[in-house]
Structure 1
Amino acid sequence: MKSLLMQQWDDFWKLNPAKRRWEMPFVAAMASGVPLFIGAYFQHVEYGLVSSLGGMTFLYMPHTKLAHRIVFMLCAASCMTTSFLFGLVAHHFPHLMVPLITILTFALTLMSRYFRIAPPGNLFFLMAAMIAAYMPLPVDHIPYQVGLLFMGALMACILGLFYTLYLMARGVPEQPIMPVEQDMELVVSDSVIVALFVGASLLLAQILDMPRPYWVPVSCIAVLQGINFRAVWSKQLHRITGTALGVVLAWGLLSLHMNVWYMCLTMMTLSTLIEFVVVRHYAFAVVFITPLTIFLAEAGNPGMVNEVIAARLWDTLLGSAMGLLGGYCLHQLGLRHWLSHRLHVMRG
């Protein structure tokens, strides 16, 4: 046990080698930050926040050939927009919220596993859906909000095009296109397990009457992205530790009561820092991810600092615990093969 704890301690502080080009974090910050400044200029920062969420589409850009990159990013933009629309619609069916989010998670996980989408995988798609699911909007406002998010996603695609042309001019080598997953029964069984635990985490948050339950399934699916159970355990520790430090940073930033211009600049700075450090140390990145996501979802509630901070911490703890339990089931080969067999029998 002592040896295991010492190894876990050493792994926690280990820095991964960074293979990401230094220009990428600045372009990613532009993709999510420019819509914020446009919204602030027209005195509608709430519109800028929605478009900024769409700007996170840039993070899905692969390092493949130009044609494949553009098609892939446009597909990611469509998926981000569809998930956001799904969440806005689900808001008007509160009694069906859990099954609807479970179905959406299954579809997103199935897609990301089949096409072997690199991290962030299905994380930001589900985050867009969950934020939208708790936006109190009337039905006739839905098309306008969806259009705002799609405009942000489209701007991310345009920035991705220019960034790719810049890389081509610099002679940066391209990576091969990843082949699709061949074992469809395993993909389906994994998607079922992930969807069930994400849905269960949302149901548990609702049963506990948590004030902001949307962060629970997001934390759950973030932890479930570990490639094995040890990685899931490590990611849970990183997420909880990073969130605990991040809420302190968020409390300090929210306590400043910044005007919209300083808020936009702060969010762009946080985005840049995240993309610089996330490939090196996940917990360190979560320290900056926490205040950024709080700004994205809670900028309209500037006077509720303590409530927001407490809710985010408890949501992360519950979501990470559910993610750890789901990761244990996900990486039990016997359970996965049994579920694959049952699905094969049902299909037959």
Structure 2
Amino acid sequence: MKQFDVERPGRAEREDRPITTTTPTHRLLPHPRDLVRFGPHDGAHRPAARVAVSVLVPLVVLATIGHVEWAPYAVFGAFASAFGRGLPRFQRLEMQLEAGLVLVACVVLGTVLAASSAPVWLLVVTIGLVAGLTSAVSDLRRWSPPGPLFFVFGLGVSAFVPATASTVAVAGVVAPASLGLALLASVAGALLPAGRRALATAEGRRWRRGPRPVDGRRTVVHAAVCLVASIAAGLLSLALSVESPYWAMVSAVVPVVGSATAGQLVRAGHRLLGTLVGVALAALLLAWHPGVAALILAFGVLQFATELLIVRNYGLALVFITPMALGMRALGGAPVDVGALVAARTADTAIGVGVVVVVLLATHRLRRPRPEAAA
């Protein structure tokens, strides 16, 4: 593909399901080889570069002004750049703005909850409700990547980071500013010759995505599974006194995207296995005790690698995104108990994956195609 940012029709739509499996939607269990199957590269370096720049620039700015402790608020605003890959520029921008505003709202809500010293069980229930709501909105608005992952993660991190009333104002400024930078990075390619050629086409100038039928039953089931599985995982993590139950909740919502139970189970396997390898890599990174500059540079590389692989093989992508997620704690300069952190994340991941697998198996029949649809 010679033109910058001119993607083949339908590429973004393929993100509505894991491309690592071709298992029919009626099958319950996947084939083991689905765990190691790779999708095509499909120009992944372009969105990977956009997302890496969108995440890296705010971190550099915060380090420059001496406030790297604000990094979580900046990162989740920047994650809007991950949406709409494969879409023409203006349609991508529309999706990123929609999802980005919801991300900012989740970050601010989480910071408000943290500043209010709300009980942990209330945080878990609130995150679960947001998981169900954003799952439904994502399906209805056809966001790509689908599902509530980013919103649950952003709300969870913000709710569990210590905050005061002044921190709420910080989150309310940093997250939208980071979103703005992400949107600028998304349209920057229009300055290049290939980008201008893309804008000269009717598809390149079109703002709205074409209509597509919405599967109401699938939307409701997805939302219900995300709600139930995330709250159950969070409360179980809390009952077992595992640190940061939001991590278990994130792991519980990740596999829900897609309509085939077999594909969802593959994604659950990816979540577990990829995290296990990723926490080992995180332990090596944190044991090195890198400075802020080295850590930010490592985050940029890890984010780029993640976006290169996220659609091709989710499990391998997790190997790279997990060290970044865990390494955020080290940015503030506070000492990190690497062993305890790795153990907690491993336990939370196992809890979340275990819970969602049970829920997915229990609701398998609800996602099977209707007889009239198959006819």
For the aligned pair, the TM-score class normalised by the smaller chain equals 0.7 to 0.9
Equivalent in the alignment of 1:83? 106
From 248, 270, 278, the counterpart of 2:310:
278
Q: Report the more deviating stretch, 293-302 or 126-135.
A: 293-302
1:297 and 1:53 mapped to 2: Cα distance?
15
Q: Structure 1: how far apart are the matches of 2:144 and 2:50?
A: 19
Alpha-carbon shift at residue 281 of structure 1 (Å): 1.7
Match for 2:102: what amino acid?
C
Aligned equivalents of 1:191, 1:118: Cα separation in 2: 16
> Does the CA-based 8 Å contact 2:103-2:151 persist in structure 1?
yes
Q: Distance in 1 between matches of 2:67 and 2:161?
A: 16
Equivalent residues in 2 for 1:302-341, closer than 5 Å: 302-333=335-366
Letter aligned with residue 50 of structure 2 = V
Q: Give the corresponding residue for 1:42.
A: 65
The CA deviation string for residues 60-100 of structure 1, in whole angstroms up to 9 with x for no partner, is 13544444332322222211011112222333322422332
For the residue of structure 1 that corresponds to 2:31, the secondary structure is: helix
Gaps of 5+ in 1: 338-348
Question: Which residue of the partner structure matches residue 6 of structure 2?
Answer: none
Counterparts in 2 of 1:74 and 1:220: CA distance versus 1, 3 Å: same
Deviations 1:219-270 (A, max 9, x none): 1111222431111211121121111111111011001111100000000000
**Cα drift, residue 298 of structure 1:** 5.4
Calculate percent identity across the aligned residue pairs: 25
2:299 to 263, 267, 273: 267
Distance 1:164 1:203, change over 3 A: farther
- In the aligned structure 1, how far is the partner of 2:239 from the partner of 2:140? 33
TM norm structure 1: 0.87
- Whole-Å Cα distance in 1 between the matches of residues 143 and 136 of structure 2? 10
Off by >4 Å, runs of 4+ in structure 1: 164-167, 172-176, 334-337
Distance 2:184 2:254 in 1: 27
CA contact 1:31–1:55 (8 Å) conserved in 2:
yes
Instruction: Assess, with a 3 A threshold, how the Cα gap between structure 1 residues 334 and 323 changes in structure 2: closer, same or farther.
Output: closer
How many residues get paired?
A: 333
1:121 aligns with 2:147: yes
Measure the CA separation in 2 of the matches of 1:327 and 1:333.
10
C-alpha contact 1:25 1:275 (8 A) present in aligned 2: yes
C-alpha separation in 2, matches of 1:65 and 1:22: 16
Q: Aligned residue for 2:129?
A: 103
**AA at the equivalent of 2:338:** V
1:242 paired with 2:274, answer: yes
Contact 1:274/1:288, CA 8 A, preserved across alignment: yes
Corresponding residue number in structure 1 for 2:38: 15
Q: Per the alignment, do residues 298 and 126 of structure 1 end up closer, same or farther by CA in structure 2, a change over 3 Å counting?
A: farther
Q: CA 1:230–1:75 in 2, change beyond 3 Å: closer, same or farther?
A: same
Q: Which moved more, 1:42-51 or 1:164-173?
A: 164-173
2:221 and 2:366 in contact (8 A); partners too:
no
170, 173, 196: which one pairs with 1:147? 173
Is the 2:260–2:367 Cα contact (8 Å) retained in structure 1? no
Q: Which amino acid aligns with 1:160?
A: S
Give, in whole Å, the separation in 2 of the partners of 1:78 and 1:128: 12
| Deviation larger for 173-182 or 249-258 | 173-182
Provide the secondary structure at the position in 2 that maps to 1:61.
coil
- Cα deviation for residue 204 of structure 1 reads 1.1
- The answer to whether the 8 Å contact 2:79/2:100 transfers is no
User: Which one-letter code corresponds to 1:327 in the other structure?
Assistant: L
How far is the alpha carbon of 1:165 from its aligned partner?
5.4
Letter in 2 for 1:104: V
User: Which residue number corresponds to residue 344 of structure 1?
Assistant: none
Structure 1 position 143, deviation (Å) = 1.8
How far, CA to CA, are the matches of 1:310 and 1:158 in structure 2?
39
CA distance in 2, matches of 1:310, 1:188: 34
Do the aligned partners of 1:190 and 1:330 also contact (CA within 8 Å) in 2? no
Measure, in 2, the Cα distance between the counterparts of 1:291 and 1:170.
39
1:169 is the counterpart of 2:196: yes
Mapped partners of 1:21, 1:304: distance in 2: 35
Identify the residue that residue 83 of structure 2 maps to in structure 1: 60
C-alpha distance in 1 between matches for 2:367 and 2:239: 31
Pick the aligned partner of 1:195 from 211, 224, 227: 227
1:335 positional shift: 10
Residues 1:212 and 2:235 aligned together: no
Q: For residue 14 of structure 2, what is the aligned residue in structure 1?
A: none
Q: Contact 1:116–1:178 (CA<8 Å) still a contact in 2?
A: no
Residue identity in the other structure for 1:126: V
Q: How large is the RMSD of aligned CA atoms in angstroms? A: 2.6
Cα separation, 1, equivalents of 2:368 and 2:33: 31
Deviation, structure 1 residue 181: 4.5
The alpha carbon displacement at 1:280 in A equals 2.0
Q: Structure 2: how far apart are the matches of 1:112 and 1:178?
A: 16
